[in-house]
Structures are given as C-alpha cells and as structure tokens.
Chain A
C-alpha cells in the first residue's frame, strides 16, 4: 500500500485530496501545519508528500529542505503560480508542481506519474482477465495479446486508474489527446467503441448520459 502525506493549511483541500487519492487506492494522511508535518515525516515513512508552500509554523520550502535528504518524492501544491515560485520549488528538489485550482483527475495522474518514476507504483494494472503492463505497453486478455493503438492504450489506462468514476469527455480528451477539447467527440466515441470491441467490454465501459464514460467494476 502506498502511503501519501498531505500537508495543506486548508482543511477542505486536505479532505478533497484525501478523498480522491483514497478512492484511487492510496493510503493518505493529512496535516494542516508545518511542525506536525515534520514530526510525522520523522516518525513514519511515506512514499510521497504533497506539500503546500504557505503553512503555519514551518514554511513549505523549509520542509522541502528537510525532506530532500530523505529521498521522498514531493509534489508542491500551491496557489503561487508565478514562474519564479515554480522554479524555486523544483530547484529545491520537488518532483512536480501543481497549481491551485487543479483538476482532481490531473492530481491523480501526476501522483501516479511521480510514483511511477520512483517505481513505487504497480506497473501491472488488471481488471478481471484484462492485464495491462504500463511500462511494456502490453495488454493481454485472458493471456492473449490484444493489439491497441496509442490512444486506445491511453484511454484504457485512464479508465482502469479511475474505476467507477464518470470521466467527462473533456477530461478524457485533455488527458489522452493532450489538447483543448473542441466539442467534437466523434473521435473519442470511435476510440471507445473499438476499445469495447477489442476487450469485450461492451457493458463495462458504460456511456454516462451527457457526461462521458465510466468503467464499471463491481467492488
């Protein structure tokens, strides 16, 4: 189980991150104060720390200085969006930088990216008989290799990482095609169609009316 520490002085934000990361299968702890964060880092071990910059007690950059020798990956989450602030955070050794307000899907994706870089995440995802090797870009269904295009693969990974979450068309489009969603969803629909066919997921990949798609997996 991957343990994540959330340090943000705003309780609502802590809870928001906590809820979403817990849903994605991580174990989270949240503190609202720099000194508490330091004592927690000292007493327990974490796989990732999400750190706000403006904190009561000890400032986020100072905490970063303390964390760096420990080699724990850090993502800064802050409202400071100026380039110099971002550069400062990254210089200090942060692995990523997320600016408020952020999209929850983006947060989850970045957390995963950082964890993957540190080889802390499971690179083999599976839903029943479908197994996805993220690094090897191989997908097998019941042991047989399934050929997927790049976009189909990206879609599949996104769906599996967000099981039972209704993913909006624009979110899917922005994450997989990495471009602005222009309202033309035919491409997306086509890809989902093919994915359903190739994996036999006609019922799993449910269309959500006026929203997008959801991978439904009984829990």
Chain B
C-alpha cells in the first residue's frame, strides 16, 4: 500500500472516531440537559397539582372529615380538565386506582418507590411516545393519596434522534471533504519520496546523471540533497571506473596492435625464406627485416619491462650535480644534426637516481624531436626555484590538443598515431617518464599550444621533501650501479 494512501486511511479513521465520539457526547449532553429540565418541570407541575388537589379537597364540603372517593374523582377530573387535558391518576393507599387516567401503565413500581419524603418519577415509552411519569403523596383529611402525572417528552427524544441524524450527516460530509483535502495534503507531503523513488529507479537503470528534484525544506528535502550528493559521488566513481576499464582496454588493444605489426613482418619474411628460392638481394632484404623488426619488438618489450619494474622497484637516490645531466645530454645530442639544441642550466644539486633521470630527460627530448619539424629549436633548461630544481624541455612542434594532455602519459598513447609510429615511437616513453617521476615524488607538467609548441617540465624538490622510496642497503646499491655500468 502506498504511503500516502496509508496516511490518508489513518487520518480518515482517526477523524471518524473523533467526530463520532464528540458528536455522540455533544448530542447526549444536550439531551441530558433537556430531560433534566423536563423532569424538573414535571416535578414542579406535580407539586402544583398536589397543592391544588389539597386546596380543592379542603374546599369540598365533607362529613366527618372523610374524603369520599367520589369527591376525589371530581376534584381530579377538574384538575385534569383544566390546563389542556392533563394526564392525572389518583391511587389510594393500596395502589388501587381511584381515578384512572388514560395511558397509565398498570404497574406499581413507581408507587412503591414513593414515600412522604420524596416524589418519584420514571421515564417510560408507550407506542413510540415518551413520557415522564411522576408520583407524589397527597395527605388530605384522613386519606393518603398518590397523585400521578404523565408529561409527554417525546419531543426531547425526537430532538435527540434528529441531533444524531444531523450529526451523522455532518460527520459524513466532513469526512468526505476532509478525505479529499487529506488526499491532496498527503500526496503533497509524500512528493519528495516519490521523486526520490523515481530517481533511484532511473539510476538503477544506469542513468547515473539523473538527479532528484528538491521540493521541500524539511527532512525529506535534506534526504533529497543527501541522496543527490551520494548519486554525484557514485556517478563520479562509476565514471572513474569506466575510464579505468576503457584505458585498460585501450592498453591491451594498443599493445596487441604494436605487437602485431612487427610480428607480421617477421612471420611473413621467415615464411618467404623457407618457401621460396630467393635471390641474394631478396634474401638479404628479408633477413634484414626480420632482424630490425625483431629488434623493434625487443625494444618495446624492454620498455614495457622498464615500466613494470620501475613501478614496483626501490631506487637509490643520491645528490647529483644538475650540470652532470646537462653535460651528458649535450654530449649525447651534439651529433644530432637534424634539430637545433640549446642547453641552459642553473647550478644546483638534485636528489635523484642519475640513470633513471637521464632516461626521463632523454625521453622528453626524443618526444620533442618527434613532435617537431627537422631543424627547429629544442631548449633544455634547468632552473633553481624556491621549492626545488626544475627541468624544462621546450619545443616548437605541433603541440598537444587540450583534451589529449591528460592521456599522453598512458602507455601506447600517441597524439598522432601514424605519424609517431613512422618515427619509431611505441607510445611508451611518457608512460615510463611518468612512472620514474612518481617514485621521485614529482610529476610531469605539460603546457602546450597546438601549432606553437610544448613545454614539458618537472620539479625535483630540494632535500627533505618528496622522495617516496629510498630503502635498500649499501651493498644493493653497489651491485646495482655495477649492473648499470
């Protein structure tokens, strides 16, 4: 059952009970009052009659101070005749009727209750009419008589009945109007719940961007706000997960692609070598392709291995003169005639693993070369800053579009895939740089404008900050440096 219906139903039940009880109580109260009043009047009338009877009896000429039954009858008749046909009955000491009025029931209950101290009355019903029957004692001369009256109070009862009827109608009407109003009120009150429910359903169906509308300022409104906040967090997480899954899929797809091209060549040429009788030239060509493509596969697998190993390895950082890197790089690239290199640097010492750092810088420079036209300027700058030593590699190449900058550090990602591969890139360089910088407590910063060039930079913090891994014993370090040399 819906909540608003429940609310409505219970309101109706409570309203009906309240109206019922209060109505009953009210009508009954009015009735009680009226009946008390009527009883009072009946008793008063009875007293008046008693008095009148006594007066009349004294005025009757009597013998021996004895009041005869006839005289009583006459007096009673007079009393009954006056004042619009009263109903009177006179009984003698034994309860035998001396003057019997119409409609008096023949029972002695009232008679036996009456004594000289107080008068008795009862309410009785005859043929759907209600009467108050009173009984009082009249002491006159030698007789003790019981004077009974009956007063018609049907009207009072009828009014009570009418009261109930009217009240019932009013109650029903009120209930109907009230129900209609409550229906509106309850559905208005439960609107936020309905909206929330709809939002929940929509979200369950996968529409994570859907939000519930806030329509009230109460606790439900608060709940809506909280729900929306939760939905926001959920959407964000789902988005992240999807992004993650997508990037993993992309990685696998890219990896497969990168693997297949050299494999196709190797398999194809090897097949030719074994199936065809080739002449010297073709033989040489085929063998050479197998060799170079094999080398390419090897380079790629080492790069991948580098990334994986770097991800989980511990490195030995040491204080290195920044000039060391620049001397090494300018020596490395002085033979490169296709690009124009410039090296500037501030003196300073950085905490780094020298070989890894060289690898990062070389990767960045290679990337800059790949992005630039032959003959353009590539600047490599070392700058001592307040918080650390910053390396910058600037090129004037094609630049990286805004949306791609986040992704370029992912493995196999290439801004211009075909172009990059034609220059022998596998899309792994920046992924490797990013890993190395992470374990140095730094990260790659990219500034780029399409068509104008790119600046890649990273900041190595000064001593005491940021180095994440620097575990491992001295012997390990020695072994490692031997390995590298």
Contact = CB atoms under 8 A, between A and B. Distances in A.
Interface of A: 9-10, 12-13, 15-16, 19-20, 23, 32, 54-57, 79-82, 100-105, 164-168, 211
A20 B264 contact: no
B422 A9 contact: yes
A43 B285 CA distance: 30
Contact of B265 (A16, A32, A81): A16
Contact of B275 (A56, A79, A167): A167
A32 B423 CA distance: 13
Contacts of A100: 260-261, 263-264
Contacts of A104: 268, 271-272, 275
Interface string B405-444: 0000000000011110110000000000000000000000
Interface centre among A12, A32, A102 (most CB of B within 10 A): A12
A101 B268 contact: yes
Interface in B271-291: 271-272, 274-277, 282, 285-286, 289
| Closest 7 pairs (CB-CB, A-B) | A56-B418, A101-B264, A79-B260, A12-B265, A100-B264, A16-B268, A79-B257
A102 B272 contact: no
Nearest to B418: A56
Contact of B282 (A19, A79, A102): A19
A79 B261 CA distance: 7
A13 to B, nearest CB: 6
B276 A164 contact: yes
A13 B285 contact: no
B418 A23 contact: no
A79 B286 CA distance: 21
27 contacts: A9-B421, A10-B265, A10-B421, A12-B265, A13-B261, A15-B285, A16-B265, A16-B268, A16-B272, A19-B282, A20-B268, A23-B276, A32-B422, A54-B417, A54-B421, A55-B418, A56-B419, A79-B257, A79-B261, A100-B260, A100-B261, A102-B268, A103-B271, A104-B275, A166-B274, A166-B276, A167-B275
B418 A16 contact: no
Q: Which of under 10, 10 to 19, 20 to 34, or 35 or more describes the interface residues of B?
A: 20 to 34
Nearest to B257: A79
B248 to A, nearest CB: 15
Nearest to A32: B422
B22 interface: no
Contact of A165 (B265, B276, B416): B276
B261 A10 contact: yes
- Which of A10, A16, A102, A211 gathers most chain B CB within 10 Å? A16
Contacts of A9: 418, 421-422
Contact of B263 (A19, A57, A101, A105): A101
B264 A166 contact: no
A74 to B, nearest CB: 19
Contact of B256 (A20, A32, A79, A103): A79
Contacts of B417: 54
B250 interface: no
B275 A80 contact: no
B277 to A, nearest CB: 7
Contact of A101 (B267, B272, B419, B421): B267
Contacts of A23: 276
Nearest to B259: A79
A179 B293 CA distance: 30
A168 B257 contact: no
A121 to B, nearest CB: 21
A54 B277 CA distance: 33
A160 B269 CA distance: 22
A13 B269 CA distance: 9
A98 B254 CA distance: 18
Given A15-B285, A56-B419, A104-B268, A166 B261 contact: no
B250 to A, nearest CB: 12
Most interface-central of A13, A102, A211 (chain B CB within 10 A): A13
A54 B418 contact: yes
B301 interface: no
Nearest to A171: B275
A212 to B, nearest CB: 9
